[in-house]
Amino acid sequence: MPESVDQFIQWVESRNPHEPEFIQAVQDLTCDVFDLYTGTEAWRDAAVLERLSEPDRTISFRVCWEDDEGNVHVNRGWRVQYCGVIGPYKGGIRFHPSVNESILKFLAFEQTFKNALTGLPIGGGKGGSDFNPRGRSDREIMRFCQAFMNELYRHIGENTDVPAGDINVGRREIGYLFGQYRRLANTFSGALTGKDIEFGGSHVRMEATGYGLIFFLRCMLSQQDEDLKGKRVAISGAGNVALHAAQKAIELGATVITLSSSKGTLFNTDGIPAEQVDKAIEHRGGSTKILQHIQETSGGEWRDNCKPWQTPCDIALPCATQNELDEDDAKSLAANGTRFVAEGANMPCTAAAVRLLRERRIIHAPGKASNAGGVALSGLEMAQNASFTRWEEERLCEELVDIMQAIHRQCLENTEAQDGYLNYHEGANLAAFQRVARGLVAQGVG
């Protein structure tokens, strides 16, 4: 039985050396739930926190594929099935050269608690590969997806583990993965979400993470008697989450002043036009190219190797990747009067940045709450597949709004404002942990 957060984290570190992202995610949760955990006999007796610091299983495999010139490449693939207590493992697949076990374990850990917040029966998992799709032809992407599924298919299924997309895995890749799954498993089932609408996909899934983020932000603002109209919003990334967040924010009256890629940032203090965001969503492609094209056609300034966080804004929405917003960035935001940060990406703020935002009383929503709209819609895709139906767009939009509002309510119910400052991290961590802990205890030790 750990006596302090530090002692517990040292124990986790000793079991997971060289996994800094995973340790960061475990520490973030533990700091908020430790007192409740140690004060709850049934949870202590069942070693709930210790069990939750270890995935149910991690599957790792070799992925061999042939490029267009006939050269054979060998990549690594993983699926982390983190916690299946609440429902089938559920979470995205990421293709990026930075992918390793620490990153996938942190993502699967976060996913477990995020999925618990949605109120749906979905457990937590995440997978991916260190494959770099940049510069690869469509046929190469197809062959890679097929090779990846050649091993993954035996570990997934609509009641076992249901992957979806994440960085560099969108509708096209899900199509190739699904096709190969269907051939190998000889079954047409909802074993993946984010599918094309023509073969079991759901309306609103594509938009859901970005839109859900803005619906959550709207709740945060309304809690302070404010709304989005006229607010300057800085967004990082120019992928699925960033572009849909930008689209909905503009629709609700905000001015989106930045979008970015790993190569630089597009700044436009007059606002990036809605029609340019719509076009970028339609065409999809390399983010830098898209942003430079927007700059050429509608103005603003492109700055190489620059992040969005140095420019004055009311709201910051990190929507690119983990640890993209560090302590210095948080200091710049504070100095420039930013009042809200809501995470579209998973764990985009370093631990030091989170501390700084809290010290400076910038209201800050963690991704496990504010970006849960995507997986929630995936849960609704699973429900449609299981009942052989397709729901209308309007109904799904309403359900997404309801789910984001319910997550916001859970956050408020689990934290008390300190001098008017709401700690969304504490609220989200406590709400999610309690649901998972109750399930673990009820299902016995195993």
Ligand X SMILES: NC(=O)C1=CN([C@@H]2O[C@H](COP(=O)(O)OP(=O)(O)OC[C@H]3O[C@@H](n4cnc5c(N)ncnc54)[C@H](O)[C@@H]3O)[C@@H](O)[C@H]2O)C=CC1
CB atoms inside a 10 Å sphere around CB 142: 19
Q: How far is the CB of 209 from ligand X (least distance, A)?
A: 4
Q: How far is the CB of 367 from ligand AKG (least distance, A)?
A: 8
Tell whether 111 is in a known binding site.
yes
The three-class DSSP label of residue 48 is: helix
Q: How far is the CB of 193 from ligand AKG (least distance, A)?
A: 5
**248 flagged as catalytic:** no
Report the distance separating Cα 126 and Cα 97, nearest Å: 16
Contact at 8 Å (CB) between 244 and 211?
A: yes
345 binds ligand X (CB under 6 A): yes
Task: Give the interface size with ligand X as a residue count (CB under 6 A).
Answer: 25
Q: Which stretch binds ligand AKG (CB under 6 A): 57-65, 89-97, 251-259, 435-443?
A: 89-97
134 binds ligand X (CB under 6 A): no
Which of ligand AKG, ligand X, none is residue 90 near (CB under 5 to 8 Å by kind)? ligand AKG
Using the rule CB under 6 A, which residue among 344, 366, 379, 427 binds ligand X? 344
Backbone angles phi, psi at 269, to 5 degrees: -70, -20
Q: Segment 135-174, which members bind ligand X (CB under 6 A)?
A: 165-168
262 binds ligand X (CB under 6 A): yes
Q: What would the DSSP string read from start to end of 359-410?
A: HTT-EEE-HHHHTTHHHHHHHHHHHHHHTT----HHHHHHHHHHHHHHHHHH
212 binds ligand X (CB under 6 A): no
Report the distance separating Cα 57 and Cα 76, nearest Å: 17
Which of ligand AKG, ligand X, none is residue 437 near (CB under 5 to 8 Å by kind)? none
Q: Taking each helix axis from N to C terminus, what angle separates 205-223 and 393-413, rounded to the nearest 10 degrees? A: 40
Instruction: Identify which of 324, 288, 230 has the alpha carbon closest to the alpha carbon of residue 21.
Output: 324
Contact at 8 Å (CB) between 113 and 436?
A: yes
Closest residue to ligand X, judged by C-beta, is: 239
Q: Which one from 126, 248, 307, 368 is the annotated catalytic residue? A: 126
Contact at 8 Å (CB) between 238 and 261?
A: yes
Contact at 8 Å (CB) between 103 and 347?
A: no
Q: Segment 96-115, which members bind ligand AKG (CB under 6 A)?
A: 111, 114
Using the rule CB under 6 A, which residue among 33, 75, 90, 322 binds ligand AKG? 90
384 binds ligand AKG (CB under 6 A): no
The three-class DSSP label of residue 120 is: coil
91 binds ligand AKG (CB under 6 A): yes
Q: Which residues bind ligand AKG (CB under 6 A)?
A: 90-92, 111, 114, 164, 166, 193, 346, 374-375, 378
Q: Which residues are catalytic?
A: 126
